[in-house]
């Protein structure tokens, strides 16, 4: 099957599974895959299709259908000015809160800006008049596309419906061929595999609407960045006998059910096969651990708790339900599920600690572990978005009384010194920041303060491995000839000189055991910890191997 036909087939089917009953089509060439999919659905009695030769009339016809039914209506056209003719009706739908699903066919990226026929800039064509816009991208035959298309389509339908109904724009790029022909096979099943329901069910946002999680002992709570009501859900998961897999910045890594070595556990295939959860409930946005993201794909039911029903995190397109509030029921019975997780977690943590505690050398993972463990209760810890927060994720042991923050929304390197200082100025207790050298250098202007400005009580702990340490753990490290210049990016800057230029107290951490003394003090201060990138990469390999071996011996 050609990719255009596959995308259109899946897209239309998912919208029908979500509840769409009416569609309006303005004919054209580039939109042929969508037109054929809608016409086939019309013949099968799954949708009522309306065809109009004028795009403006078509759009207002769809508006009228949506106004009367209160349900999203698909509005389809080809590329170019055809899409522009939808704009008045889109504006009217936005102002009146009328749900519309605007599907504009488009040329693929390689034809844009070239003078290719009937090609205009359709990206965000309707501006603020739509509740959500998505550049779908040209389809390709590779695994994972069906989950993307269905997740995106079900989200579009949900956003058009609530909590603030209105138009949604999907800009769908198609490469030729545009009509079916030849081999009809595809690399993965095109059907949803979930009956007639939508890929992702979105719970109504009505007050008091609480989704009751299926009762099971084999559940897992995952807590990522930006999670809300963490204490409530951690308590509920503990009562239900579920392990809690919280990223440090999720601030749910405390209590008896908190797992600190899940990154390593979920890298052991034998453990994964024996510990497939029936339900996973996710708070916030997880994204630090690839093995954790893989767990979300394997869950039979993945429920995302999101304050907004117009926007929710679903990084691997695995969410089956989305709700603003859920109830995790307590189920009596055997607690072997939790005991198994705990035993494996403790074994992996002990193996990792044994590796880290060899000698007194300063290493990045040990520094992250020891800093999180040693700073006083009530403290705030701000972490760089690259390696420091990942080192925390892999080594921080459960504890209470610590607030951890990071800029993981876009995971950028910029502005981290200034952000850390802002969080410290707003925090009532001691504050610490764990930064990489490049992040520190990128925002060294954040150290500039006028003499009358309030000074934060903040220890800036800077891991200096003379460059971009994370690349030594990525496939780029194999590119020996060009690696150092374009990925390693050695800078050879003396951080002590920067501290002196700003009149900021400076210490260098010489031994791992000297951390508490090095970060002690008041006001703004800098602590430098020098490490070696290649040694750090080898240490991560040893940690992983030790943890995996420890878990395998238990299975």
208 pLDDT more than 80: no
In this structure, what token pair is assigned to residue 280? 């996973």
Encode pLDDT of 448-489 as tens digits.
999 999 999 999 999 999 998 888 888 888 888 888 888 989
311 pLDDT more than 90: no
- Compute the Cα dihedral for 360, 365, 371, 372 and give only its sign: negative
Q: For residues 287-310, give the mean pLDDT.
A: 92
In this structure, what token pair is assigned to residue 261? 């070595």
Question: Lowest-pLDDT range, 173-187, 497-511, 517-531?
Answer: 173-187
Confidence label for 195 from pLDDT (cuts 50, 70 and 90): low
Q: For residues 323-349, give the mean pLDDT.
A: 94
Q: Measuring CA to CA, how many Å separate 265 from each of 97, 257, 354, 555?
A: 47, 15, 17, 11
Q: What is the 3-state secondary structure (H, E, C) of 99-123?
A: CEEEEEEECCHHHCCCCCCCCCCCC
Give me the pLDDT at residue 308, please. 81
In this structure, what token pair is assigned to residue 364? 């990045």
The pTM for the full model equals 0.87
> CB of 132 within 8 A of CB of 154?
no
Encode pLDDT of 88-124 as tens digits.
999 999 998 999 999 999 999 999 989 888 889 999 9
Going by C-alpha positions, the residue among 195, 243, 253 that lies closest to residue 216 is: 243
> CB of 400 within 8 A of CB of 252?
no
Q: Residue 528 belongs to what H/E stretch?
A: strand 524-530
Chain Cα centroid distance, residue 184 = 34
- CB neighbour list of residue 110: distance below 8 Å, 6 or more residues apart: none
- CB neighbour list of residue 522: distance below 8 Å, 6 or more residues apart: 457
CA Rg, the chain, in Å? 27
Give me the pLDDT at residue 281, please. 98
DSSP string, 148-171: HHHHHHHHHHHHHHSSS--EEEEE
Provide, rounded to the nearest whole percent, the portion of the chain with pLDDT above 90: 85
Give me the pLDDT at residue 410, please. 84
- Compute the Cα dihedral for 74, 164, 282, 429 and give only its sign: positive
How far is 7 from 76, CA to CA, in rounded Å?
A: 14
Give the single-character DSSP code of 14.
H
- CB neighbour list of residue 263: distance below 8 Å, 6 or more residues apart: 288, 289, 291, 292, 393, 394
How far is 519 from 375, CA to CA, in rounded Å?
A: 9
Give me the pLDDT at residue 193, please. 67
How far is 87 from 76, CA to CA, in rounded Å?
A: 13
In this structure, what token pair is assigned to residue 8? 């259109």
Going by C-alpha positions, the residue among 369, 154, 367, 350 that lies closest to residue 253 is: 369
Backbone dihedral angles phi then psi of residue 514, each to the nearest 5 degrees: -95, 15
């Amino acid at each position: 099957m050609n990719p255009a036909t596959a995308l259109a087939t899946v897209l239309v089917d998912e919208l029908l599974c979500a509840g769409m009953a009416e569609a309006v089509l303005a004919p054209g060439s580039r939109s042929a895959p969508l037109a054929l999919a809608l016409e086939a659905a019309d013949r099968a009695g799954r949708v009522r299709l309306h065809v109009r030769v004028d795009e403006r009339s078509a759009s207002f016809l769809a508006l009228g259908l949506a106004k009367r039914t209160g349900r999203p209506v698909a509005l389809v056209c080809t590329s170019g000015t055809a899409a522009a003719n939808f704009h008045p009706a889109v504006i009217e739908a936005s102002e009146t809160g009328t749900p519309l699903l605007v599907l504009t066919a488009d040329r693929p990226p390689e034809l844009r800006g070239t003078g290719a026929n009937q090609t205009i800039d359709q990206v965000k064509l309707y501006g603020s008049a739509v509740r959500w816009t998505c550049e779908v991208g040209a389809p390709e035959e590779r695994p994972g596309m069906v989950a993307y298309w269905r997740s995106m389509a079900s989200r579009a339908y949900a956003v058009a419906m609530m909590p603030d109904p209105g138009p949604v724009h999907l800009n769908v790029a198609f490469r030729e061929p545009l009509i079916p022909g030849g081999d009809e096979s595809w690399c993965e099943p095109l059907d949803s595999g979930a009956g007639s329901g939508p890929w992702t069910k979105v719970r109504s946002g009505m007050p008091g609407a609480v989704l009751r999680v299926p009762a099971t002992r084999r559940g897992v709570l995952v807590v990522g960045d930006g999670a809300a009501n963490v204490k409530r859900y951690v308590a509920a998961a503990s009562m239900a006998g579920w392990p809690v897999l919280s990223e440090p910045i999720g601030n749910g890594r405390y209590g008896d059910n908190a797992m600190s070595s899940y990154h390593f556990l979920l890298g052991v295939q034998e453990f994964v096969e024996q510990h497939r959860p029936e339900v996973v409930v996710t708070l916030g946005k997880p994204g630090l651990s690839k093995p954790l993201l893989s767990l979300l794909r394997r869950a039979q039911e993945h429920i995302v708790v999101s304050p907004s029903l117009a926007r929710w995190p679903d990084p691997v397109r695995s969410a089956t339900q989305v709700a603003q509030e859920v109830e995790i029921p307590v189920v009596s019975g055997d607690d072997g599920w939790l005991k198994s997780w705990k035993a494996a977690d403790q074994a992996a943590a002990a193996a990792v600690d044994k590796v880290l505690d060899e000698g007194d050398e300063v290493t990045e993972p040990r520094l992250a572990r020891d800093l999180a463990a040693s700073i006083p209760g009530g403290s705030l810890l701000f972490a760089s978005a690259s390696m420091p927060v990942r080192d925390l994720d892999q080594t921080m042991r459960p504890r209470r009384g610590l607030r951890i923050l990071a800029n993981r929304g876009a995971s950028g390197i910029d502005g981290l010194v200034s952000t850390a200082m802002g969080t410290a100025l707003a925090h009532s207790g001691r504050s610490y920041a764990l930064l990489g050298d490049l992040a520190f250098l990128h925002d060294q202007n954040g150290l500039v303060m006028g003499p009358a400005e309030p000074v934060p009580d903040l220890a800036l702990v800077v891991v200096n491995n003379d460059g971009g340490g994370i690349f030594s753990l990525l496939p780029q490290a194999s590119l020996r000839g060009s690696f150092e210049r374009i990925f390693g990016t050695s800078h050879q800057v003396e951080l002590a000189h920067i501290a002196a230029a700003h009149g900021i107290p400076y210490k260098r951490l010489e031994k791992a055991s000297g951390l508490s003394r090095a970060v002690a003090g008041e006001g703004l201060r800098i602590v430098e910890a020098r490490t070696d990138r290649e040694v750090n990469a080898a240490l991560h390999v040893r940690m992983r191997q030790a943890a995996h071996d420890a878990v395998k011996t238990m299975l």
